[in-house]
Amino acid sequence: MAAVFASTTRTQVAIVGGGPAGLMLSRLLHLAGIESVVVDNRAAETIEHTHRAGILERDSVRLLVDAGMDRVLRDGHRHDGISLRFDGVSHRIDFEELAGASCWLYPQTDVFVDLHARRTADGADLRFGIADTEVVDVETTPRVRYSDTEGARHEILADLVVGADGSRSICRDLVQGARRYFREYPFAWFGILTESAPSAPELVYTRSERGFALVSQRTEAVQRLYFQCDPAEDPAAWSDDRIWAELQARLAGEDGFHLHEGPVIERSVLPFRSFVQAPMRHGRLLLAGDAAHTVPPTGAKGLNLALADVRVLAECLERAIEGRDDSALDEYGERALARVWKAQHFSYWMTSMLHRVEGASDFDEQRQLGELAGIVGSRAGSAYLAECYTGWPR
């Protein structure tokens, strides 16, 4: 029996996933005169309150501004460097001096809020809070089907489908014969938001004998802090006092660094892995962002890679649609993956240089300190880090 749909919509591009990647893609397509429909099984409020990383590369900021969202320039904070902290001493890496670039502290939640407001003002077709999403016939005439909150089924017929549906992507599995490249790590990050004034003007990436810690910021009154933990750690098992004792121990040092404490208002354990799936296209389906690749958070590359993907994807989709030239669809994956693998290496490298591995030998620990000393003591080494952190040119 043929399925009966409560509604059938025709569009040029159906986008599965309404996070920053999906919404930015829909905005870029809109600017190019291409129609899209965005679906996401989460409510917009849920995405708005899911805390993620907070660093935008120079080109991510440019993309936001060029696409008509410039709040980042007013509410974001430009950071011209970071510190690497080890043996109780911080060493600043000056991005401006070494790479002629900077990055911006602007949380992913704000990026989402800006994009959501922009697309709503555009009158975009955004369908949040749906369920049972299914993507079919991606080799010929793609369709996205889902249930609304009342359980009625709907169908979207599209020329192309983009899977921007994050690390638990359903679209990824439709790419037949794809290769998956994995690396698991024996640790995770414990992340907190705390009501306390920033402890440092820039990010402090710390290697200590007790493990990694990161000092980041959000506002004048809220800090974002992380420390390496066991992946199976239960956030509820940690009292505020225990969290602060752990962070203080990891950040202690002779240089007078002072960690400001306050109430912990949010806590969670972040998964940690490196993952790439290639190719990023199968038939009329293309993947973008975390659906195709995940990086550990140490290099702050996740959101930046997703935005870089959709910038290239929008351009390739435009060529494919306007010029009826499908070779542009293959070019997308090649261009995106070139950046993805540089970011994979950088994220892996920052992770391995700064984290404690259970059972590491004395040799491994001293070698790790030697690597850090080598980087901060070398202009070339520091410049490499600065270039990677602020982002590769287009």
Q: Which residue numbers are catalytic?
A: 79, 205, 297, 301, 389
Asked if 72 is part of the footprint of ligand PHB (rule: CB under 6 A), the reply reads no
Asked if 55 is part of the footprint of ligand PHB (rule: CB under 6 A), the reply reads yes
> What whole-number distance in Å separates Cα of residue 171 and Cα of residue 364?
40
Residue with tokens 């409510």: 43
Binding mask 212-231 for ligand PHB (x = CB under 6 A): ----x-------x-------
Least distance (Å) between residue 194 CB and ligand PHB: 13
Category of 308 on φ-ψ map: left (φ > 0), alpha (ψ -120 to 50) or beta: alpha
The one segment of 48-56, 116-124, 329-337, 362-370 that binds ligand PHB by CB under 6 A: 48-56
Q: Which residue has the tokens 């990050």?
A: 189
> Which tokens is 327 given?
């070779």
**Alpha carbons 364 and 361: distance in angstroms, whole number:** 5
Indicate whether 321 belongs to the interface with ligand PHB (CB under 6 A): no
Token pair recorded at residue 153: 């089924």
Minimum distance, C-beta of residue 353 to ligand PHB, in the bound complex (Å): 13
> Is residue 26 part of the contact set for ligand PHB (CB under 6 A)?
no
Q: What angle do CA 271, 274, 279 make, to 5 degrees?
A: 130
Could you tell me the smallest distance in angstroms from the CB atom of residue 227 to ligand PHB?
A: 12
Helix, strand, coil tally for the chain in percent (to 5): 40, 30, 35
- Residues 6+ positions from 327 with CB-CB distance below 8 Å: none
Tell me: does residue 145 bind ligand PHB (CB under 6 A): no
Least Cβ distance, residue 55 to ligand PHB (angstroms) = 5
Query: Residue 297 or 333: which CB sits closer to ligand PHB?
Result: 297
CB of 374 to ligand PHB, least distance (A): 21
Could you please report the per-residue DSSP string of 14-49?
EEE--SHHHHHHHHHHHHTT--EEEEESS-HHHHHT
**Cβ–Cβ < 8 Å for 238, 382:** no
Residue 297 engages ligand PHB in binding (rule: CB under 6 A): yes
198 binds ligand PHB (CB under 6 A): no
Least separation in angstroms between residue 12's CB and ligand PHB is 35
Encoded tokens for 4: 């009966």
Q: Which range, of 26-34, 128-136, 161-169, 295-303, touches ligand PHB by CB under 6 A?
A: 295-303
Using CA atoms in the order 347, 290, 315, 139, what is the torsion angle rounded to 10 degrees?
140
Contact between 298 and ligand PHB by CB under 6 A: the answer reads yes
How many chain residues are in contact with ligand PHB, going by CB under 6 A? 9
Per CB under 6 A, 300 contacts ligand PHB: yes
> Does 54 interact with ligand PHB (rule: CB under 6 A)?
yes
Cβ closest to ligand PHB, residue 103 vs residue 329: 103
Beta-bridge partners for 388 = none
Instruction: Check binding of 203 to ligand PHB (CB under 6 A).
Output: yes
Distance CA(103)–CA(105), nearest Å, equals 7
Binding site for ligand PHB (CB under 6 A): 53-55, 203, 216, 224, 297-298, 300
